[in-house]
Amino acid sequence: MVDKEQAGYYTRTRNAVRSYIQETSRDRDATRTENELCAESTDIKLELAAPILPLCDRCHSLVNHREAYPIPYPPLSYIRDIMEESPWHINHVYHILDAADFPLSLVPDIYRDLSLQTQRSLNRRAKTVTFRHGKRQTDVHFIITRADLLGGMKEHIDSLMTYMTQVLRDALGPSSGKVRLGNVHMVSAQRGWWTKEVKKKIWEEGGGVWMVGKANVGKSNLIQAIFPKSPDAARKLRVEENSSHLTPEFGPLDIEESGLLPPVQKQYDFPVLPIVSSLPGTTASPIRLPFGQKKGELIDLPGLFRGGIDEYVQDGFKFDVIMTKRPKPERLTVKSRQSLLLEDLVRITPVNFQSVMLASPFVPLTPHVTSTEKATEVLLGQRKPPHPPIAKKGTNKCIASAGVFELKYDVTEKYGKSVKQSKYQDGDNLTALYKIMSVDILIEGCGWVELITQIRTKDFVEGEFPKVEVFSPNGKCVGSRRPISAYTFLHEKRKQDAKKAGRRRRFG
């Protein structure tokens, strides 16, 4: 029995499907009119673009109604089995990471599970290509997508490249300190930042390019920006070899009886690219996109499981908790015996704080500062939340501690008071009076919360840092990283806007 909710099902009564059936059922051998024969010699660009096919019911619901039946997430072993059927001798894995909760979207043990080539060591004689059992090993590139969520200017994001590489080293483990990590790229498909470099690299390397990553990290959206188009010479060659340009021919597909990898599509300069949607698990099966006259192939793979906070959100609010644009938060003050509440899902509570904590929530969740007692009652369902609840029923019964996190990173140079603002202390004594400690609390699939606090240097004990405890559903969907200090970019932008506004008032 055919399941109507699964991908690939078509309802014959839909207008698009009915029109397509009527067009393809016509006799293609019918006599063409004189005008059609003239158009055949002029309309030669039809073969450059893929024929428009109707969407299946699932894709139709995704595009028009932003809803679809969820599909099961494949395990990493399924991705490995598909890659073993690759027809290419040279393969490249592009591991897609999301900048919103980086590096929580990193697939652990990806080198071991996919049998990838290890990173080059710092030794200048380290090999760039390695072989195993007579076969060239697959190399890996790390692509950090949606970089525009970290800042509004390309120069600011470009300055974060060293920071992102260091955070990736921390996530890969202690052994990553002895490798180069020269294959990390940070792009923004929406604004076109650094997509040209990645596109050029894919075109020059060729072979099989496999897009691997967790669900809803932006793989399909990235493909639309980096898919390499053929040069003009290849286009002219293909047009000359084609005998028919007026109506596309749909011949029988060479489908293997067994195998996980679907058949390759016919090559077009402008193929039908994967559908982009904010719903996790949009890509149901591998999509093969050849390019460059058998030069290479881009394969979009289904997303792996990503345990985001949206699993505990009501269906009507799932799209609201996905970060789609750069937030501009206000810095909140959390005093002693207070907690930061993110909707009715997450609570951040200071532990043994002697000073005030400042929080900048870069998340699409509505923040609220209240007493720790009230915040606890809200998460347990014993008190009405300050905002309309978005958590599913029963979520309050599974609230647990996600761990205690230390504010152990010194950001005094970024957030410290300017020397010019103090007329009683010189520069050396000013920086020695206090330290500003910080950490980023990550909410998986949602964003991060920047926490900072100031401590006196004479009260600071080496190894003892201010701490916060985070509570979330089942104690999951929470992590930490060294602070990115994204609020500094926002603060500088506001200062520049204030100067411009004052200048306009004086001279306007």
Instruction: Name which of 260-264, 399-403, 450-454 the model is least confident about.
Output: 260-264
Does residue 31 belong to any structural domain of this protein?
no
Q: Which of 279, 306, 333 is the last residue of a domain?
A: 306
Kindly tell me if the per-residue pLDDT of 234 is higher than 60: no
Kindly tell me if the per-residue pLDDT of 235 is higher than 60: no
Q: How many CA atoms lie within 13 A of 303 on its CB side?
A: 27
Q: CB-based burial of residue 143 (10 Å sphere; 0-12 exposed, 13-18 middle, 19+ buried)?
A: buried
Residues 196 and 316 both lie in one domain: no
Instruction: Name which of 74-88, 114-128, 276-290, 444-458 the model is least confident about.
Output: 276-290
Residues 272 and 376 both lie in one domain: no
The DSSP result for 31-60, as a single string, is PPPHHHHHHHHH-TTGGGBPPP-PPPHHHH
Give me the number of domains the chain comprises: 2
More confident residue, 317 or 22: 317
pLDDT level of residue 503 (50, 70, 90 thresholds): low
Residues 235 and 275 both lie in one domain: yes
Does residue 8 belong to any structural domain of this protein?
no
Q: Work out the percent of the chain whose per-residue pLDDT is above 70.
A: 81
Tokens standing for 285? 């099966």
pLDDT, position 367: 94
Residues 89 and 61 both lie in one domain: yes
Pairing state between β 447-456 and 467-473: unpaired
Nearest to 141 by CA among 89, 101, 194: 194
Residue 377's domain spans which residues? 310-497
Kindly tell me if the per-residue pLDDT of 362 is higher than 90: yes
Kindly tell me if the per-residue pLDDT of 52 is higher than 90: no
Does residue 7 belong to any structural domain of this protein?
no
Pairing state between β 139-145 and 91-98: parallel
Kindly tell me if the per-residue pLDDT of 508 is higher than 90: no
Does residue 256 belong to any structural domain of this protein?
yes
Rounded Cα–Cα distance for residues 281 and 293 (Å): 31
Does residue 270 belong to any structural domain of this protein?
yes
Does residue 503 belong to any structural domain of this protein?
no
Angular region, 126: left φ>0, alpha ψ -120 to 50, beta rest: beta
Kindly tell me if the per-residue pLDDT of 217 is higher than 70: yes
Q: What average pLDDT does the structure give for the chain?
A: 81
Give residue-wise pLDDT tens across range 133-174: 888 889 999 999 999 998 888 888 889 999 999 999 989 888
Residues 217 and 187 both lie in one domain: yes
Residue 3 in contact with residue 9, Cβ under 8 Å? yes
Angular region, 281: left φ>0, alpha ψ -120 to 50, beta rest: left
Nearest to 83 by CA among 190, 207, 171: 207
Q: Which of 248, 274, 306 is the last residue of a domain?
A: 306
Note if the pTM is more than 0.75: yes
Residues 409 and 434 both lie in one domain: yes
Tokens standing for 36? 């059609």
Does residue 416 belong to any structural domain of this protein?
yes
Q: Which of 284, 306, 328 is the last residue of a domain?
A: 306
Find the helix or strand (DSSP H, E) in which 98 lies. strand 91-98
**CATH number of the domain that 284 lies in?**
3.40.50.300
Give residue-wise pLDDT tens across range 7-22: 777 777 787 777 777 7
Kindly tell me if the per-residue pLDDT of 423 is higher than 80: no
pLDDT, position 185: 92
Residues 397 and 287 both lie in one domain: no
Residues 410 and 446 both lie in one domain: yes
Does residue 272 belong to any structural domain of this protein?
yes
Task: Indicate the length of the chain as a whole number.
Answer: 508
Residues 324 and 193 both lie in one domain: no
More confident residue, 39 or 98: 98
pLDDT, position 282: 74
Residues 315 and 171 both lie in one domain: no
Kindly tell me if the per-residue pLDDT of 241 is higher than 60: no
pLDDT, position 257: 42
Rounded Cα–Cα distance for residues 195 and 198 (Å): 5
Residue 95 in contact with residue 141, Cβ under 8 Å? yes
Residues 136 and 176 both lie in one domain: yes
Residues 141 and 250 both lie in one domain: yes
DSSP, collapsed to helix, strand or coil, labels residue 474 as: coil
Instruction: Name which of 131-145, 347-361, 494-508 the model is least confident about.
Output: 494-508
H-assigned helices in 335-469: 372-379, 412-415, 427-433
Give residue-wise pLDDT tens across range 102-144: 999 999 888 888 988 888 888 888 888 888 888 888 999 999 9
